[in-house]
Structure 1
Amino acid sequence: MYDLHIIGDQIVRELGQLIQEQIIVTNQQGMIKASTEPERVGSFHEGSLLAMRKKQILHMKQSEVEKLQGVRPGMVFPIIIQNEPIGVIGVTGDPKHISQYGMLVKRLAEMLISDFIHQRDHVQKEQFLAQLLQGMSEKEVRRGAKELKMEAAQLYRIVIVEDVLREWMHEHVKKELFTAIHQGQYAILLPADQELTFLYDWQQKVGIGGSYLLEQIKTSYEEAKTALLYCSKERPVVQEKELTMELIVADITRERAMKFVSRVCGSLVKDSILFEHMYLRIMTDWTLNELASYLHIHRNTLNYRLMKIEEKLGYKLTDVKGRANLYMSCLLIEKFQLYDFVQMHK
């Protein structure tokens, strides 16, 4: 059921700019909810019930005025949304004159109401998603999903996109439900079986959680937040299921992370150029030629700098334990954004 109490006044204002006649809007019970004549609001209009019952535009002639409660000469137009009459627009005056623009009045009203319903439903779904991310009971989830006509038994996942504006979201996210979680950060609810290739085309940092039922979607949200921590320029889209060693550092504090990085990397943290070279060598699968090209230096220059890195570290970059520690250090740098600490531009 649709309550025309809110949208009714807007319909009256919009139509009042197009025609000079008096206008009313009634709800499904035939009660006038809005009117160009405020004193009629709250009164009963029996002709509107007749128009809704027949789903037809009706002329209110003198004979109807005499036998129907609250009726004046004019026309009544049932408002049909999804094949359901949700109310009536009444226009007072000579039916012969009103009929010239009657369908325009009806279609404009239905367009305004459809747009209002769409916006209202989107707001309600966005609020529901925000509540889901905070955690809801199974009973609350199923009730909310039923009200919003969402499939509670279906699997979904959460995707978080960072550093975007709401206008960008409306432009790129046409059908999917999303809600703001922080400034410039939005969570998107996707069906688990939806292809994710379009996310890689956005060229934005995107963290992707696993697939869960709606009552468990908070878990997907937490996973997406974890994945987002490891997004970078070289790897903008990260799925939580791709994380391995990253999960080990999930609960480490910032202070302990800085201590670990300092202990593993030693004096290398004070040399931004060498540290960046080490970071890229550890965190990418590029060949030496590809790395040299990315850094815009000669291959021989890169080899020399890698040798200097190994001298500062005291071991080869191919050393298994050393490489594992360096990889862990790089993960901590990404998680806690320690680029200033290691004098590295990111």
Structure 2
Amino acid sequence: MELTDQLGQEIIRRLSRYIDVAINLMDATGKIVASTDTARIKQIHGGAQRVIETLEAQQITKEISNQYSNTKPGVNLPIFHRGELAGVVGLTGDPDQVFQAAGMTQGSVEITLEQLYIQKQSFYQERQWNHWFHQLISNRETEDLEKEARYSLRADLKKAWQVLVFQTPSPYDFAEKLRRQAEELNLSPLFILPFQENSVVMPLPFHENLPPIKTDGPAAIGEPGYSAKGIYTSFQQARETLAIAGKAREIIHSGSLKMERLLSNITKDTFTEITEPYANRLNRLETPYLKTLDAFFNNDLKMSRTADELHVHRNTLHYRLDQVHKKVGLDARNFKDAIILQAILINH
């Protein structure tokens, strides 16, 4: 990574808060790209050119400063990034007095370049994964995408994956939080991507015992699936589960809602034809009856468990279910009627 005008000015802006002498940053040709003395920007710095030739620090005293063009007394040090010369940093002043500060400045610039490089690489990789993932969910063609993941993104997909989908009002902020969590929990996600306007997607290698993951909203996890095709399927399962699960602030496993997912995928025409007469009546029911149906289905049609959860007598529960039967035309205690009622409630 080389020192550019924009990058150099940002580094100068940060360093000048802590160093009270003039600072110059030169690129790998010796041109001043940033300086606390803006009049010197774009000048060729003779002392920097000497550093570039020798790859060694240069202390320039007042007596020899006129030997180098556009150079003042001070210290000039080479800046390296990943073994390559990236530029030169110079501090103006008595060499003996500014040498230590120059060394610290050199180290700060090299650390900053490495951090920016890592950020740039991470951003580039995120864009690659974003493109890859959208290709996956758009056309489902996995063979070429598996090759791209292996050769371009250096990722081995030949394993079982589970995809987590999180709903959040701030996907970019939550994605950053999730990356920190993943690192702390040693989760090794394939990627963590903001998706659409309110979601974050995270495929994980399958874990029998997934550690608890903090979420700031509804979340779901699909079932394990192998390679790219498995990622696609697990993602779709998690999305369907989120659409069904409502607003629970916990991670819902798609395997726990198989029946609900099945019913939610009935074709619209068939669903409307069968349920419309009952749905209109069901929508007119008072809230206690709807809550009773939810509790009854959540307790697997068990009368005693439902009555206990609702804190009502079994006779009261029977009365409410009788009223639902009378007003809607479906008896929740009858298996086939219960399926139709459940489908209406799921797709409501």
Q: Distance in 1 between matches of 2:158 and 2:64?
A: 52
Q: How does 1:18-97 map to 2 (within 5 A)?
A: 18-27=18-27, 32-36=32-36, 37=38, 39-41=40-42, 43=44, 45-49=48-52, 53=55, 58-61=57-60, 73-79=73-79, 86-97=86-97
TM-score (norm 1): 0.71
Partner of 2:155: 151
Q: Does 1:226 align with 2:255?
A: no
Name the residue aligned to 2:276. 262
Question: Paired residue for 1:342?
Answer: none
Deviation of 1:86 after TM superposition, in Å, equals 4.2
Q: What does residue range 110-189 of structure 1 map to in structure 2 within 5 Å?
A: 110-135=110-135, 150-153=154-157, 155=159, 156-165=161-170, 166-174=172-180, 175=183, 177-189=191-203
Query: Deviation digits for residues 240-296 of structure 1, max 9, x if unmatched?
Result: 45554424643633x764554334556333113213321332244485455345445
SS of the aligned residue for 1:99 comes to helix
Q: Which residue number corresponds to residue 340 of structure 2?
A: 325
SS at match of 1:60: strand
| One-letter identity of the residue aligned with 2:88 | V
Over 3 Å counting, the alpha-carbon distance change for 1:145 and 1:307 in structure 2 is: same
Q: Deviations over 1:194-237 (max 9, x none)?
A: 953424x5373113245454698555544432232122356953
- 1:282 alignment counterpart: 297
Q: Secondary structure at the match of 2:324?
A: helix
Q: Write the distance in 2 (CA, Å) between the matches of 1:42 and 1:265.
A: 78
Which residue of structure 2 lines up, in the alignment, with residue 344 of structure 1? Answer: none
- Say which SS state the counterpart of residue 217 (structure 2) adopts: coil
Within 2, Cα distance between the matches of 1:139 and 1:95? 59
Deviation at 1:3, TM superposition (A): 5.5
Amino acid at match of 1:41: K
Q: Which residue does 1:204 correspond to in 2?
A: 217
Residue 341 (structure 1) aligns with: none
CA displacement at 1:96 relative to structure 2: 0.7
Structure 2 counterpart of 1:323, one-letter code: A
Matched, 1:252 2:267: yes
- Give the CA deviation at 1:146: 6.5
**Distance in 1, Cα, partners of 2:53 & 2:26:** 12
Aligned equivalent of 2:306, options 287, 291, 314: 291
Contact 1:135 1:218 in 2 (8 A): no
Matches of 2:244 and 2:3, distance apart in 1: 47
CA shift, 1:167, in A, is 3.8
CA distance in 1, matches of 2:327, 2:175: 46
Q: What is the number of residues matched between the two proteins?
A: 326
- Structure 1 residue 326 displacement after superposition: 2.7
Paired residue for 1:237?
251
| Two-structure CA RMSD over aligned residues (Å) | 4.2
Which amino acid letter does the alignment assign opposite residue 180 of structure 1? P
Deviation at 1:89, TM superposition (A): 2.1
Shift of the alpha carbon at 1:161?
0.8
Matches of 2:208 and 2:68, distance apart in 1 = 55
- The runs of 5 or more residues in structure 1 that have no matched partner are 339-346
Q: Secondary structure at the match of 1:135?
A: helix
Residue 135 of structure 1 and its aligned partner are, at CA, apart by 0.5
Q: Deviations over 1:273-326 (max 9, x none)?
A: 213321332244485455345445445433331333344455643433223323
Task: Look up the SS of the partner of 1:101 in the other structure.
Answer: helix
For the Cα contact (< 8 Å) 1:230–1:238, is it kept in 2? no
Deviation at 1:11, TM superposition (A): 0.8
- Check whether the contact 1:21–1:92 (CA below 8 A) recurs between aligned residues: yes
Distance 2:70 2:332 in 1: 89
Q: Which residue of 2 aligns with 1:343?
A: none
Structure 1: which amino acid aligns with 2:218? K
Following superposition, the deviation at residue 162 of structure 1 comes to 1.0
The whole-number CA distance in structure 2 between the counterparts of 1:194 and 1:89 is 53
